[in-house]
């Protein structure tokens, strides 16, 4: 029972609902840790014991045994101080945000490459509005060569080179979205 302070009338500790929500949040963290690759786990701020527990948990394939081991991992995580759990959560969420940003940037580059090949000078002039320092002739030549490679079923050398050029261009000056 948590009790009430006689002097102030306030509750002494968290309610059962709050305790349950905290326990479920730690269980979700344990599940997220189990979904990580061993290389990614090595980058996280986990102690050796927690890392060993996560790796053991990942090796289990039977559903009920895996669930039981996940709950055991969550129990051990609850024993950690809150700052350690916050550091792990921050590292996991930071990784997701970086991955999403990198993926979006690659998709943007691929879209520009495909537009340059399909639309030609129209797309090139739009690209040059966003990136005036780009080399117009070189990009036009790469787009034309990539288009020819596609038509003639040749290996995509210019296609890849155009992607590299666009990636370097967009890395120098990120576009304002």
Q: How many domains does the chain have?
A: 2
Verify that 23 and 57 share a domain, yes or no. Answer: yes
pTM score, whole prediction: 0.53
pLDDT, averaged in runs of 10, over the chain (177 residues): 71 84 94 90 90 92 93 94 91 79 90 92 91 92 93 91 92 60
* Cα end-to-end distance, the chain, whole Å: 54
Verify that 168 and 103 share a domain, yes or no. Answer: yes
> In the prediction, which pLDDT does 5 show?
75
Distance separating alpha carbons of residues 101 and 85, to the nearest angstrom: 25
Q: Considering the domain boundaries, does residue 119 fall inside one?
A: yes
Specify the CATH number for the domain of residue 61.
Answer: 1.10.60
* Alpha carbon separation from 161 to 26, 50, 75 (Å, rounded): 46, 45, 52
> In the prediction, which pLDDT does 176 show?
47
Verify that 106 and 168 share a domain, yes or no. Answer: yes
Q: For residue 26, what are the domain limits?
A: 16-80
Tally of CB atoms within 10 A around 159: 19
> In the prediction, which pLDDT does 15 show?
83
Q: Considering the domain boundaries, does residue 3 fall inside one?
A: no
**Range 20-26 contact pairs with CB under 8 angstroms and sequence separation of 24 or more:** 22/78, 23/74, 23/78, 26/74, 26/77, 26/78, 26/85
> In the prediction, which pLDDT does 2 show?
63
């Amino acid at each position: 029972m948590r009790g009430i302070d006689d002097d102030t009338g306030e509750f002494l500790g968290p309610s059962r609902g709050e305790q349950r929500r905290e326990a479920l949040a730690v269980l979700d963290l344990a599940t997220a840790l189990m979904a990580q690759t061993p290389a990614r786990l090595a980058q996280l701020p986990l102690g050796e014991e927690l890392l060993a527990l996560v790796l053991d948990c990942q090796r289990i394939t039977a559903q009920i045994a895996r669930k039981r081991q996940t709950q055991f991992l969550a129990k051990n995580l609850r024993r950690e101080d809150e700052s350690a759990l916050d550091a792990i959560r921050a590292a996991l969420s930071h990784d997701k945000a970086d991955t999403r940003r990198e993926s979006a940037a690659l998709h943007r580059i691929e879209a520009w490459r495909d537009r340059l090949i399909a639309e030609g000078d129209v797309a090139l002039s739009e690209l040059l509005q966003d990136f005036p320092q780009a080399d117009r002739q070189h990009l036009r030549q790469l787009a034309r060569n990539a288009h020819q490679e596609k038509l003639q079923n040749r290996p995509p050398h210019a296609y890849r080179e155009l992607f590299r050029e666009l990636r370097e261009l967009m890395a120098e000056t990120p576009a304002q979205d």
